[in-house]
Chain A
Amino acid sequence: MSAAPLLDTTGTPGAFTRAWNVVRLHYTNRRTMVGVPLMVMGFIFLINLAIWIIIRSASGEPLTGTEWSGSTAYIFIYFIVVAVQSMNQTFSFALGYSVTRRDYYLGSVLAFGVQSALLSIAFVLLSYIEQWTNGWGLGGHFFSNVYFGTGALLPRLFTVFGAFLFCFFIGSTAGSVFVRWKMNGMLVLIGIVVVIVVGGFAIVVLTNAWAALGSWFVTTGPTGVVAWLLIPAAIAAVIGFFVLRRATPRG
């Protein structure tokens, strides 16, 4: 049976176009998605640079050991926050613009994928510049640290992209929980995560598996670990979808 005559369904934009419009919505004002994150990233980098210069001029020797720096971890973790903020900011507005929750979520995840791709290209480019300039002339390592900034181009790109994707998808789940249940939901979610982490810790301790775990990390390598992380990332993204499907915009 055809649709009711009242509703002219011809010309309804396809699912991809509808999701893409949500991507554009996330980028309408680039402050949350681009401006502030770049400022945070730049600030962390400048602080590192300043510390390198201070150490260098105090010791008068070339820097050693900066390839073990974990400074960039803050950038990745910050994008969990960015994902939650973006969804909190745009969800009510998108529904006000007659967007379905389904299109909104798919569009948001797509926007986070685009953002991860752009970020990882920039990140990898900077890691090469860092290598070519011998650590900005100081022997420092920020983008080219041992965890994901070395190796051939493709694994390097994949590792950084996967790490961003992981953070964004965790963020999109947290964002859905926040949009649907506000702070109470976030507290429960954090509680669940803590229980899982402590549970994992207990298993490792009680089975004396530290050595096995350590050698797994070594043999799997950063690229392999990121590849494994994409599984929980995908699960989180799917959970986020079902959480958001029943969310309602509030005042």
Chain B
Amino acid sequence: MTSATATTTTVVEVDNLSKHFGDVTALDRVSFSIAKDSITGLLGRNGAGKTTIMQLLTGQDFVTEGDVRVFGHRPAENAQVLRNISFIKESQRYPDDFRPKHVFASAPWFFENWDATFAERLVDDFQLPVNRAIKKLSRGQLSAVGVIVGLASRAPLTFFDEPYLGLDAVARQIFYDRLLSDYAEHPRTVVLSTHLIDEVSNILEHVVVIDKGRIIMDAASEDVRGSATTVVGMRAAVDEFVAGREILHRDGIGGLVSVTVGRLDADDRRAAAAAGLELAPVSLQQLIVRKTTATLGEDGGDR
């Protein structure tokens, strides 16, 4: 018996989750949830804890403290939950003597929605040599194997872990195009983990940002985009304008400064214009860089 705390629209529910590896705290009381049929970005620096979260959500690792629910159930060793999940991690190990064709041949035994025709089309799109030993694939080709499995498995909950590693701009564009068109036809819950934020920011509906094992942002990407603005102008005018506001970042050359502050309302914007200040939007990537380096600063730097 499991509690039905999850509503029908929540696929992933993480509550106060901690994970320790020996003395190392990989995740520190993390809580968030993921809505059904959405594309969520799991963003953060390398080593922030992204892969650890996904391994706990897919039952590949075990929770130290707290609770994880996927489709309302604990995922670890739960065949009924896991059969709905596809997670090819960036560092996925394949049997040494496997070729991509072996990977795709065995996929339908484990993913009931597997679309072999779609997989073949993707193999052509990515120009993947299916008869080459996996060990001899380039980093980009290896990423393509994971991307093809993730897309063609059409699992109700699909994880893409750093799917861009080694992929060139053309291949990345193919990935976005195929993901979005297939997502439109077969809605499912997608979690995209990456540290290359700008490229994905416009396909994400929700972002969860993790830094050093803690969630520092969990919001709809709409809200995030307007949540910060950079104010540029003469030092005195800018200082007067930003006084009393949350300052995320500050840059200055001579008399000119640019300061990133939190959300501005219509009145603020009029006041800024009247003071002769220029306002510039802050990209998701810049914002996350500001936020993660801000927490760095509070801790007194990197050691």
Residues on B with C-beta less than 8 A from A31 are 97
Per-residue CB contact flags for chain A residues 1-14 toward chain B (1 = under 8 Å, else 0) read 10111110101110
Residues on A with C-beta less than 8 A from B79 are 12, 18, 100, 102-103
Q: How far is the CB of A25 from chain B (nearest CB, A)?
A: 6
Considering only CB atoms, which chain B residue lies closest to A98 in the complex? B82
Q: How far is the CB of A85 from chain B (nearest CB, A)?
A: 9
Q: Is the CB of A95 within 8 A of B106?
A: no
Considering only CB atoms, which chain B residue lies closest to A102 in the complex? B77
- Is A71 close to B, CB under 8 A? no
Q: Is the CB of A32 within 8 A of B95?
A: yes
- Is B32 close to A, CB under 8 A? no
Of B55, B59, B88, B92, the residue contacting A100 (CB under 8 A) is B59
- Is A182 close to B, CB under 8 A? no
Of B36, B83, B105, the residue contacting A98 (CB under 8 A) is B83
Q: How far is the CB of A236 from chain B (nearest CB, A)?
A: 22
Contact residue range for chain B? Answer: 35 or more
Total A-B pairs, Cβ < 8 A: 106
Q: How far is the CB of B88 from chain A (nearest CB, A)?
A: 6
Residues on B with C-beta less than 8 A from A29 are 95, 97-99, 102
- Is B187 close to A, CB under 8 A? no
Q: How far is the CA of A179 from the CA of B77 in the complex (A)?
A: 17
Of A6, A25, A103, A245, the residue contacting B72 (CB under 8 A) is A6
Q: Is the CB of B60 within 8 A of A249?
A: yes
From B3-11, B199-207, B217-225, B228-236, the one touching the partner chain is B3-11
**CB contact list, B14-73 vs A, under 8 A:** 36, 55, 58-62, 71-73
Q: How far is the CA of A7 from the CA of B94 in the complex (A)?
A: 29
Q: Is the CB of A32 within 8 A of B92?
A: no
Question: Are A28 and B106 CB-contacts (below 8 A) given A6-B72, A18-B79?
Answer: yes
Question: Are A6 and B8 CB-contacts (below 8 A) given A98-B85, A248-B60, A251-B93?
Answer: yes
Q: Is the CB of B62 within 8 A of A248?
A: yes
Residues on A with C-beta less than 8 A from B61 are 248
- Is B239 close to A, CB under 8 A? no
Of B71, B89, B91, the residue contacting A6 (CB under 8 A) is B71
From A86-94, A125-133, A189-197, the one touching the partner chain is A86-94
Q: How far is the CA of A108 from the CA of B152 in the complex (A)?
A: 26
Q: Is the CB of B77 within 8 A of A101?
A: yes
Q: How far is the CB of B233 from chain A (nearest CB, A)?
A: 49
Residues on B with C-beta less than 8 A from A248 are 55, 60-62
Q: How far is the CA of A169 from the CA of B260 in the complex (A)?
A: 63
- Is B96 close to A, CB under 8 A? yes
- Is B141 close to A, CB under 8 A? no
Residues on A with C-beta less than 8 A from B55 are 248
Residues on B with C-beta less than 8 A from A97 are 106-107, 110-111
19 contacts between A and B (CB under 8 A): A4-B4, A6-B71, A7-B72, A18-B79, A21-B109, A21-B110, A24-B106, A28-B95, A28-B102, A32-B95, A89-B96, A89-B97, A90-B95, A92-B93, A96-B60, A97-B107, A98-B58, A98-B110, A245-B77
Q: Chain B interface (Cβ within 8 Å of chain A)?
A: 1-2, 4, 6, 8, 10-11, 36, 55, 58-62, 71-73, 77-89, 91-99, 102, 105-107, 109-112, 155
